[in-house]
Amino acid sequence: MKPLRFLLFLFIIIGAVAGAYLLYAQLSSPNIRIVENGYVFNASYSNNIWNYSISGELPNPCYTYYVNENINSNTADITFVVNKPGGETICTEVVEPITYTSTLNYSKDAKFNFKVVDGNNDSINNNYLDNLNENLFTIEKEYIDETGWAYAVNGTLPPCYSVVNSEQEILESYPEQIYIVLTIKKPEKSCSEDSPFEYNDSGMVQASPDATFRVKLNNIL
């Protein structure tokens, strides 16, 4: 019986230690809660990933929204943009509960700013031009022997924004620095689109195997 008691005691100790560790990990994981204009931003950190949600109520089902993420070195600015229905839209006068969820691959020490803005405000739309940056886009590339580089640019812009032109800009250094220059067009006042703009483009460029690639936003209209 003694070995059985010893094993039982050992299992109890292991279970207590494991439970204490899980409790410590849960309590030590950062959790953020911000309330702004009736909307609640919650973020939690686990396994090198921030999971966040935005919840609240739109005035009625005809309102739309989108979320803009502006990521800096150690700060994430999360902006919740609410768009009023345009024209003489007839809509049921009942609030519309919403919940938006997303993830960010960001450091544990990251800081978050959260704000809610009126998407119908022209000054707000102009400010978004300043927040658009190359971090919204990714480049996939492959070197093909003497042919050079094949590349693909992918990204997501807020609703009503679009990419109207793409050009290659090559700095003749070694290794070459290759910029894929994208021209962004801001929304028209009459735009009522509520889905993000998905951008995908591909191309070829002659350059050495050591060439570097970057996206650059230029001539924003």
**pLDDT tens sequence across 119-147:** 766 444 445 555 567 778 899 999 998 78
Closest CA relative to residue 188, chosen from 198, 176, 197, 179: 197
For residues 50-64, average pLDDT: 90
Q: What is the mean pLDDT of residues 115-120?
A: 82
How sure is the predictor about 190, in pLDDT bands with cuts at 50, 70 and 90? Answer: low
Between the CA atoms of 219, 212, 176 and 167, what dihedral angle is there, to the nearest 10 degrees?
-30
Number of structural domains (the chain) is: 2
Of 96, 131, 166, which one is at a domain's C-terminal end?
131
Which of 66, 55, 67, 60 lies closest to 85, judged by CA?
60
Predicted local confidence at residue 217, as pLDDT: 80
2-37: per-residue pLDDT in tens? 566 656 666 677 765 555 545 444 444 679 999 988
User: Is residue 52 located within the same domain as residue 77?
Assistant: yes
On whether both 181 and 195 belong to a single domain, the answer is yes
183, burial (CB in 10 Å: exposed 0-12, middle 13-18, buried 19+): middle
**Per-residue pLDDT averaged across 56-78, rounded?**
84
Give the separation between CA 199 and CA 201, rounded to whole angstroms. Answer: 7
Distance CA 157, CA 180 (A): 16
Q: State residue 69's pLDDT score.
A: 83
The rounded distance, in Å, linking the Cα atoms of 131 and 124 is 11
Q: Do residues 50 and 42 lie in contact, with contact meaning Cβ atoms separated by under 8 Å?
A: no
Q: Is the pLDDT of residue 66 over 70?
A: yes
| Contact between 53 and 99 (Cβ < 8 Å) | yes
Any domain includes 20: no
Amino acid 17: pLDDT? 57
**Three-state secondary structure call for residue 39:** strand
Q: What is the average per-residue pLDDT within 68-92?
A: 80
- pLDDT > 70? residue 163: yes
Q: Which of 98, 131, 164 is at the close of a domain?
A: 131
d(CA 140, CA 145): 17
Structural domain boundaries, residue 107: 31-131
Task: Please say whether the beta carbons of 161 and 186 come within 8 A.
Answer: yes
The pLDDT score that the predictor gives to residue 19 is 54
> Are 51 and 125 part of one and the same domain?
yes
In a domain, 4, yes or no: no
| Of 69-78, 112-121, 136-145, highest mean pLDDT | 136-145
Q: Identify the residue whose tokens are 């609640």.
A: 40
Cα 82 from Cα 65, distance rounded (Å): 5
In a domain, 19, yes or no: no
Q: Both 47 and 124 in a single domain?
A: yes
From residue 11, give the alpha-carbon distance in Å to each of 4, 87, 200.
Answer: 11, 68, 55
Q: What mean pLDDT value characterizes the chain?
A: 80
Say whether the peptide bond before residue 196 is cis (omega within 30 degrees of 0): no
Position 110 in a domain: yes
13 within some domain: no
Give pLDDT, residue 24. 47
pLDDT at 26: 47
The residue among 23, 24, 42, 41 whose CA lies nearest residue 80 is: 41
How much is the pLDDT for 205?
Answer: 93
Q: Is residue 73 scored above 80 in pLDDT?
A: no
Determine, yes or no, domain membership for 89. yes
- Tokens 């003694």 belong to 2
Q: Per residue in 84-111, pLDDT tens?
A: 877 666 788 788 899 999 888 878 888 8
Of 87, 107, 131, the domain-final residue = 131
HSE-CB for 156 with a 13 A CA cutoff: 8
On whether both 38 and 91 belong to a single domain, the answer is yes
**For the chain, percent of residues with pLDDT exceeding 70:** 77
